[in-house]
């Protein structure tokens, strides 16, 4: 049944300390919602990328993960049953060969998930030119040109495709850090591409997570305490993977050009804030 839910581990709060917070999340049971789809996930060896790759495989997709560590790629792809290819997103010249090989391994590409990203967590006065360029290259320049290459394949082969970007709640607000600036640019890119390619049957959306328990944020999934979030806790990668699965599925066929912010209304510009 399509609305049967599977309660995923963890209880809502541990009572031994008010500052130890875990979570009870609800996800749909795997229903082959992505059966037949061929999905490439960048930054697929950890955090959100790993959670999405696992979920996509469970939903019947053929998945290829990529990242810089060949050791991590081999271990995870063997564990969850997906394909893998090394990729440095800052090396735009490698994209043609990467996409060609990904197509061979998957038999084509229906979906690209631009997940890989970095944040150096600087303050304005501590930003360096090198750090600025590194974040722009990984978070914006790389995804831009990889998407350009995948779009060409989709157009040439008349693929009704789907592109999903992983943005951030920081892209919804004013920011003075390179990370936030790249995510604001990603949000603009998502909307522009969605409008441009809608007549071609290609959808483009983004999820914009709030602070999530990943290596990049430094929040542990054993203690999700994060009082700055409206729910008092950080989010789990599995929660974001559930939203991503819906956006890649045919059930969301009328949705394109949307930034789905996943932070319990934290960045809503309410008059009474």
**Which residues are marked as active site?**
179
Residue in the structure block whose two tokens are 């303050």: 123
**170, 151, 128: which is closest to 261 by C-alpha?**
170
As a whole number of angstroms, the distance between CA 146 and CA 50 comes to 19
Residue in the structure block whose two tokens are 């009082």: 227
Contact 206, 166 (CB under 8 A): yes
Strands 203-209 and 162-166: parallel
Burial 254-273 (b: 16+ CB within 10 A, else e): eebbbbbbbbeebbeeeeee
How is the beta sheet containing 83-86 ordered, strand by strand?
Answer: 83-86, 62-67, 38-42, 111-114, 162-166, 203-209, 259-262
Residue 143: CB partners within 8 Å, gap ≥ 6? Answer: 42, 89, 114, 116, 165, 186
């Amino acid at each position: 049944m399509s609305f049967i839910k599977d309660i995923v581990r963890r209880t809502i709060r541990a009572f031994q300390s008010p500052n130890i917070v875990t979570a009870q999340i609800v996800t749909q049971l795997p229903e082959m919602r992505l059966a037949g789809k061929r999905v490439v996930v960048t930054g697929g060896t950890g955090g959100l990328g790993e959670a999405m790759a696992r979920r996509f495989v469970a939903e019947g997709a053929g998945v290829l993960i990529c990242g810089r560590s060949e050791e991590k790629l081999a271990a995870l792809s063997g564990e969850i049953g997906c394909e893998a290819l090394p990729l440095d997103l800052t090396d735009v010249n490698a994209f043609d060969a990467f996409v060609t090989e990904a197509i061979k391994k998957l038999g084509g590409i229906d979906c690209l998930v631009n997940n890989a990203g970095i944040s150096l967590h600087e303050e304005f006065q501590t930003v360096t030119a090198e750090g600025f360029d590194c974040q722009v290259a990984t978070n914006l320049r790389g995804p831009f040109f990889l998407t350009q290459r995948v779009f060409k394949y989709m157009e040439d082969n008349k693929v009704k495709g789907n592109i999903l970007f992983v943005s951030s709640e920081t892209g919804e607000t004013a920011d003075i850090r390179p990370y936030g600036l790249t995510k604001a640019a990603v949000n603009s890119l998502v909307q522009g591409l969605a409008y441009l390619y809608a007549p071609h049957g290609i959808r483009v959306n983004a999820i914009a997570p709030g602070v999530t328990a990943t290596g990049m944020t430094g929040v542990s999934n054993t203690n999700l305490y994060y009082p700055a979030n409206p729910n008092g806790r950080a989010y789990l990668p599995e929660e974001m993977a559930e939203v991503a699965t819906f956006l890649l599925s045919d059930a969301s066929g009328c949705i394109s050009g949307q930034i789905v912010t996943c932070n319990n209304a934290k960045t809503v510009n309410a008059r009474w804030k």
